[in-house]
A = this chain, B = another copy of it.
Amino acid sequence: MHLTLTAERRLDGGVLERAFTLDGIPGLLWTPATESAPEPAPLVLLGHPGDLHRMHPRLAARARHCAADGFAAAAIELPGGGDRPRSPEADQARADLQRALAAGERPSEDVIDRLVLPLVDQAVPEARAALDALLALPGIGGPVGYSGGIISIGVRLALVDPRIAAAVLFAGSYVPRTMFDEARRLTLPLHVLLQWDDEGNDRQLALDLFDAFGSPEKTLNANMGGHTGVPPSAAEAAARFLARHLR
């Protein structure tokens, strides 16, 4: 796929933000705005739940963290996110999930599969194509870290792409049972964030998934504060994990 840089601007804190498209998929790239470019910077691919525009403040904050550690960061729009074409099947599955949660029921395996598996199947090859293109840019090198977003995407990407050296996974969404087989086969260092009182998530499922990860080095960092309330200390711990493994 072909990457086209479409715009650039400087953010506070000396970070260069560049917008790009990758065969029509919008993306953002953040790099430390240093005058001298010594070594190629390791790259952190930032996961998110979709809609780059809505997520921009939080993504830019995470990118600043990366830049402070000397890392580039990038995000691409999810299938069905932002202005990308929506999938009627995914919309139906999301409505079914929300209906189950509103009724206080556990979402069925079928609903979770319909919501997550097609998204993973489409998003992971797109993420890999983005890595191909981004790693070819001057000033950006390996190793690559993955951080946050929909955990099933992170699991699949970490499993199939050997360029991913370490992953911060956000255990904040329902996980299809078939993803557990992939989780067991992971071996890379993992730092798993869990919001203990996340009302839209299944805590026991998240703990079971953490238990399933095959990685000999894995950390679970669980905090209070609801789905979007990851405390600054937890964000810093995640950044330190990436710094340990990408430098």
How near does chain B come to A119, taking the closest CB pair, in angstroms? 28
Which residue, of A224, A231, A236, A240, has the highest number of chain B Cβ atoms within 10 A? A224
- A218: chain B residues at CB < 8 Å are 196, 223-224
A188 to chain B, nearest CB (A): 13
Q: Is the CB of B222 within 8 A of A233?
A: no
Closest to A218 in B: B224
User: A153-194 vs B: 1/0 string, CB under 8 Å?
Assistant: 000000000000000000000000000000000000000001
Interface size on A, residues (CB 8 A): 22
- Nearest to A236 among chain B residues (CB) is B240
A21 at the interface (CB under 8 A from B): no
CB distance A233 to B219 under 8 Å?
Answer: yes
- Contact in complex: B233, A244 (CB < 8 Å): yes
Question: A23 → chain B, closest Cβ, in Å?
Answer: 39
CB-based contact B224/A221 at 8 Å: no
- A210 in the interface (beta carbon within 8 A): yes
Interface string of A196-217 (1 = CB under 8 A from B): 1000000000010011000011
Within 8 A of B (CB), among A214-247: 216-224, 231, 233-234, 236-237, 240-241, 244
10 tightest Cβ-Cβ pairs between the two chains A and B? A220-B222, A219-B223, A237-B237, A221-B221, A218-B224, A216-B224, A217-B224, A220-B220, A233-B244, A219-B221
9 contacts between A and B (CB under 8 A): A196-B211, A207-B207, A216-B224, A219-B221, A219-B231, A220-B221, A220-B223, A222-B222, A233-B241
